[in-house]
Chains A and B, each alone.
Chain A
Amino acid sequence: MNERWDVVVIGAGPAGLAAVVAARDRGANACLVEREDRPGGILKQCIHDGFGLLRYQSRLTGPEYAHRELSQVRARQIPILTGVFLLAIRRDDRRFTLTLQCPRRGVFELTASSLVAATGCRERTARQVFIHGDRPAGVYPAGTAQRLLNIEGLLPGRRCVVLGSGDVGLIVARRLTLEGASVEGVYEIKPEPSGLDRNLAQCLDDFHIPLHLCATVSRIHGRGRVSGVTVCRVDNRLRPIADTARLVPCDTLIVSVGLIPENEILRGLGLEFDPRTGGPLVDQTLQTSLPGLFSCGNSLQVHDLVDHVSEGGEIAGAAAADHAAGRLPAIPAMPAVEVRAAGELRQVVPQRLNPALPGRVVLWFRARRTLEAAALTAGWAGKSAPIGEYASLRPPEMQRFTLEYSGEPDHLTLELREVSGDARENGVRAVPA
């Protein structure tokens, strides 16, 4: 039962769907492996709109966006193996061997010249942000609550508190309100919300849900079901201020405290990871430090816009096909060309450049903090060139730009600097890529 493929893509979310289409269009014999029963990834449960503004110039719901991507896969008759669970990945003899299981075939193997990992992300749990107290029923990660509401048709609770102001939590707060539940408030430990502006406006303001900044849930109460939570303000070192503690009666705590790229299946392969993104280190083709293994979507870095996810999927899929066909030049044997993040930059992807591949490079970055006006420059061996100026930058909003790369063997330093308010008044605008 050994099947040989040029490219196997793991995960049939938007990243994997785009990757497999791109791989096929470059002539590769490619397939998709998905552990759930249906393709589409997280988009299946995102029934709100706002997807596809860049890629399709229209406001689609998550399932509509997934449907468009999926129809590209279907048009090419690319096989999608659903309900298939990946048990292990081995690399020998320059090929990858995947051990999988599924109800119909039992345990079986596939081999591939190139692998694209598009496995998405998981949610950070209440325990990981050290929430204490009792352990009753009624504490749900926001994504789980969203799945219960939108896929299973089940209502997790009637009186809810939301911890964390991430996008998923904001969207779930609105969804719960629409289902007749009351959302007592959203509590965010940082002085700034972590969700996108448009979600703050459309999910909280429009529904009169209060947002409490510099505040957190310090304790959960209830022995059967949640009966309430203690909330309190925090000081500038994020420590609870005891005398601000207040009990908020509720039956549900929704936790929306961040997403973590899911790469557990790759851990044994010995590739390098970037602690800032939580994903593998990649070059401009989204190839990891293990030749033939590519990474894209939320498992590479957590995205806020699906359009960027699809674009990354295309880059990875096309390069995976080239690698399988022997067309992708290997990184020359010399110290890697690093992309270094300086100034107010929190993270940049890709983190490496392959000098054997000059040409247009797509890069994504996030700012470390909110900046009213900022300028991004690229520095090569002492020379520095402006890339763009931004009127407002917030950490939740990932930015994309492109660069012409000449194959320069020196490290590239990207620097984000805050510029004075005057510059802004002089009409400096963001340069959308």
Chain B
Amino acid sequence: MVAPDQVTIACADNAVQNGARIFLNTAVIGLDVEGGRITGVRTNRGRLRGRVVINAAGVWADRVAELADDRFYTIHPRKGVMAITDRSTGDLQRRSLGMMWIRRPGRTKGGGVSRTIEGNLLLGPTADEVPDREDHGTSCEELEALLHRHMPLNAQLRPDQIIAYFAGVRAVTFEEDFVVEESRRVANLIHVAGIQSPGLTAAPAIAEDVRDLVVAMLRREVQVRARPEFDPCRKSPPSLSGLTLEERHRLILRNPAYGRIVCRCEEVSEGEVVAAIGSPLPATTVSAVKHRTRTGMGRCQGGFCTPSVLKLIAREMAVPATRVTWQGGDSLMLAGETGE
């Protein structure tokens, strides 16, 4: 069991530590193809150029392929709803429980009740075909279906123990298989598409295949050598929950910000929030800080810590609190100041 957001964040930080650049809030809107190769990647924030282009656009991968006139697969969205219970339920089971549903090949594992690494129980996910590729909302019917199916797996679970529920959308091809290959029509394009469940588990292996494809592609044009300074180990900031009391004590005396608890449900300190905001790939929104540090992920769901997190982001980024967003774009947290 891993925390999927932590794995992704760790990879992103490590990539940046090794010299990669990540442009967030940057959407690909066009691909310039000349003479059978991509010469420019057009985005909402300008044009990028690269020797090799990798299309790993998840549920939008077929659309991106189409931008290069190379759409040989289609993605249809399959939504999964999940629910998380209060940590106090973590002692109710140690293993993952699931029913062997009679299922068509290629379908999901069927979901169940499993214990997350933080000690909450996770119910689900469901699997339903939906029209909207970014349908991350939930409905009463979907949640009821989820509870009806998975709650009985552990007789001690009750609906009032649920603290959060949410949805994700899997990117599924009609063949129900991953597409990991060079384009046959565009010389410098690689497709990594249809990475549906268990795509997270498969990701490290897929990455090695893609690396080999990239190297082979580059070698047709330039020399490729391993970089001796490459460091595959991420330097992650300390997290109080992983420390002994003695280590915690010494850390606080070194940096008192680790002594100030911001999120009381998940016991996250100011020091951890500040470190997240200043990480290689900076967490500059309330949601980004939440995913990195777990502020607001506990039983009160951010009731107590949101104002503090907001103020810390504003302080560290030297912007007014009224400019802080939930998830970038137009998701402003506040409307203004009082007394205006």
Query: Within 8 Å of chain B (Cβ to Cβ): is A317?
Result: no
Of listed B165, B166, B300, residue having the most chain A CB within 10 A: B300
Contact indicator per residue, chain B 304-340, by CB within 8 Å of chain A (1) or not (0): 1011001100000000011001110111111111111
Give the CA-CA distance A252 to B164 in the complex, in Å. Answer: 20
**Quick check: which of B67-75, B173-181, B254-262 contacts chain A, the rest being far away?**
B254-262
Query: Within 8 Å of chain A (Cβ to Cβ): is B63?
Result: no
Give the CA-CA distance A224 to B333 in the complex, in Å. Answer: 10
Q: Is the CB of A133 within 8 A of B338?
A: no
Q: Indicate whether A267 sits within 8 Å of B264 (C-beta atoms), given known contacts A106-B259, A134-B137, A137-B325.
A: no
Provide the residues of chain A in CB contact with B331, threshold 8 Å.
136-137, 223-225
Q: Is the CB of A135 within 8 A of B335?
A: no
Query: Within 8 Å of chain A (Cβ to Cβ): is B138?
Result: yes
**Quick check: which of A139-147, A186-194, A196-204, A321-329 contacts chain B, the rest being far away?**
A139-147
* Chain A count of residues within 8 A CB distance of the other chain: 55
Give the CA-CA distance A306 to B19 in the complex, in Å. Answer: 58
Q: Is the CB of A154 within 8 A of B327?
A: no
Give the CA-CA distance A307 to B224 in the complex, in Å. Answer: 76
Query: Within 8 Å of chain B (Cβ to Cβ): is A104?
Result: yes
Provide the residues of chain B in CB contact with A122, threshold 8 Å.
299-300, 303-304
Q: Is the CB of B321 within 8 A of A152?
A: yes
Provide the residues of chain B in CB contact with A85, threshold 8 Å.
259, 261, 264, 267
A155 to chain B, nearest CB (A): 5
Give the CA-CA distance A126 to B336 in the complex, in Å. Answer: 23
Q: Is the CB of B253 within 8 A of A125?
A: no
Query: Within 8 Å of chain B (Cβ to Cβ): is A107?
Result: yes
A33 to chain B, nearest CB (A): 13
Task: Report which of B250, B259, B306, B322 forms a contact with A103, defined as CB distance below 8 A.
Answer: B259
Provide the residues of chain A in CB contact with B303, threshold 8 Å.
122-123, 125, 141, 143-144
Contact indicator per residue, chain A 148-184, by CB within 8 Å of chain B (1) or not (0): 1101111111100000000000000000000111000
A243 to chain B, nearest CB (A): 16
Give the CA-CA distance A141 to B245 in the complex, in Å. Answer: 33
Provide the residues of chain A in CB contact with B321, threshold 8 Å.
152, 154
Q: Is the CB of A137 within 8 A of B326?
A: yes
Q: Is the CB of B335 within 8 A of A181?
A: yes
Q: Is the CB of A155 within 8 A of B335?
A: yes
Task: Report which of B139, B248, B322, B338 forms a contact with A107, defined as CB distance below 8 A.
Answer: B248
Q: Is the CB of B143 within 8 A of A179?
A: no
Provide the residues of chain A in CB contact with B299, threshold 8 Å.
122, 264
B44 to chain A, nearest CB (A): 15
Query: Within 8 Å of chain B (Cβ to Cβ): is A128?
Result: yes
B291 to chain A, nearest CB (A): 13
A222: nearest chain-B partner, CB-CB: B331
Q: Is the CB of A103 within 8 A of B252?
A: yes
B140: nearest chain-A partner, CB-CB: A132
Query: Within 8 Å of chain B (Cβ to Cβ): is A277?
Result: no
A252: nearest chain-B partner, CB-CB: B335
Query: Within 8 Å of chain A (Cβ to Cβ): is B136?
Result: yes
Provide the residues of chain A in CB contact with B97, threshold 8 Å.
none
B169 to chain A, nearest CB (A): 14
A143: nearest chain-B partner, CB-CB: B303
Q: Is the CB of B307 within 8 A of A147?
A: yes
Task: Report which of A101, A141, A156 forms a contact with B259, defined as CB distance below 8 A.
Answer: A101
Query: Within 8 Å of chain B (Cβ to Cβ): is A53?
Result: no
Provide the residues of chain B in CB contact with A220, threshold 8 Å.
137
Provide the residues of chain B in CB contact with A102, threshold 8 Å.
252, 259
B79 to chain A, nearest CB (A): 13
Contact indicator per residue, chain B 259-278, by CB within 8 Å of chain A (1) or not (0): 11100110100000000000
Q: Is the CB of A135 within 8 A of B338?
A: no
B134 to chain A, nearest CB (A): 8
Q: Is the CB of B138 within 8 A of A132?
A: yes
- Chain A stretch 211-233: residues in CB contact (< 8 A) with chain B: 218-220, 223-225
Q: Is the CB of A134 within 8 A of B136?
A: yes
Give the CA-CA distance A99 to B306 in the complex, in Å. Answer: 26
Contact indicator per residue, chain B 142-186, by CB within 8 Å of chain A (1) or not (0): 110000000000000000101111100000000000000000000
Q: Is the CB of A153 within 8 A of B338?
A: yes
Query: Within 8 Å of chain B (Cβ to Cβ): is A388?
Result: no
Q: Indicate whether A107 sits within 8 Å of B330 (C-beta atoms), given known contacts A135-B136, A154-B322, A218-B140.
A: no
Give the CA-CA distance A170 to B264 in the complex, in Å. Answer: 26
A284 to chain B, nearest CB (A): 29
Query: Within 8 Å of chain B (Cβ to Cβ): is A249?
Result: no
Task: Report which of B143, B162, B326 forms a contact with A136, defined as CB distance below 8 A.
Answer: B326
Give the CA-CA distance A260 to B254 in the complex, in Å. Answer: 36
Give the CA-CA distance A105 to B252 in the complex, in Å. Answer: 8
Q: Indicate whether A104 sits within 8 Å of B334 (C-beta atoms), given known contacts A127-B165, A132-B143.
A: no
Give the CA-CA distance A103 to B307 in the complex, in Å. Answer: 20
A and B contact pairs by CB, cutoff 8 A, 22 listed: A85-B264, A103-B259, A105-B259, A106-B250, A106-B253, A107-B246, A125-B303, A132-B139, A137-B325, A143-B303, A144-B302, A144-B306, A148-B307, A151-B307, A154-B337, A154-B338, A155-B334, A155-B338, A220-B137, A223-B331, A224-B327, A224-B332
Q: A87-B245, A132-B138 are in contact. List 15 more A-B contacts (CB 8 A).
A: A35-B261, A85-B261, A85-B267, A122-B303, A123-B303, A132-B137, A134-B137, A136-B326, A144-B302, A144-B306, A149-B338, A152-B321, A153-B337, A154-B336, A264-B299
Return the 9 tightest CB-CB contacts between A and B, nearest first: A103-B259, A137-B326, A103-B256, A224-B330, A224-B331, A106-B249, A107-B249, A106-B252, A137-B331
